[in-house]
Amino acid sequence: AQSVTQPDIHITVSEGASLELRCNYSYGATPYLFWYVQSPGQGLQLLLKYFSGDTLVQGIKGFEAEFKRSQSSFNLRKPSVHWSDAAEYFCAVGAADSNYQLIWGAGTKLIIKP
């Protein structure tokens, strides 16, 4: 079955500390992979995407993610978080043939300690 797992419902990190949010997927086809961020009261915003090529992708706001096919993972990282990064983060996977159907993770809520 196709699925996306974000094992951490909540993560708390101190401002300035590094961050890694986990995402594992189960998908039969070559995947397109996405990370979106949702701030309170707002819609989701694309952070970064992986379609092909370099497995380390850079996104907005200083985020990066690494696609590891052998581990079926697409973890999101940031070397130093800011209080404004507090939000909910969603991983999603879709087919590489323009299939519109995205499989969404349940989200990870990031809490920043001052």
Partner 1 sequence: DAGVIQSPRHEVTEMGQEVTLRCKPISGHNSLFWYRQTMMRGLELLIYFNNNVPIDDSGMPEDRFSAKMPNASFSTLKIQPSEPRDSAVYFCASSRTGGSPLHFGNGTRLTVT
Q: How far apart, in whole angstroms, are the C-alpha atoms of residue 69 and residue 81?
A: 27
At closest approach, how far in Å is the CB of 93 from partner 1?
A: 12
Q: Is 19 in the site for partner 1 (CB under 8 A)?
A: no
Contact between 99 and partner 1 (CB under 8 A)? Answer: yes
- Bridge pairing between strands 31-38 and 44-50: antiparallel
CB 110 within 8 A of CB 90: no
Find the binding residues for partner 1 in span 50-89 (CB under 8 A).
none
User: Which member of 45, 58, 71, 84 binds partner 1 (CB under 8 A)?
Assistant: 45
Among all chains, which residue has been given the structure tokens 């096919």?
A: 69
Q: Which is nearer to partner 1, 53 or 114 (CB)?
A: 53
Residue 40 lies near partner 1 (rule: CB under 8 A) = no
Bridge partners of 74, per DSSP, are: 67
Pairing of the two strands 73-78 and 64-68? antiparallel
Nearest to 63 by CA among 19, 107, 5: 19
Residue from the set 90, 91, 108, 112 that interacts with partner 1 by CB under 8 A:
90
For partner 1, the binding residue among 25, 27, 32, 63 (CB under 8 A) is: 32
Residues that bind partner 1 (CB under 8 A): 32, 34, 36, 41-46, 49, 90, 94-95, 97-102, 104, 106-107
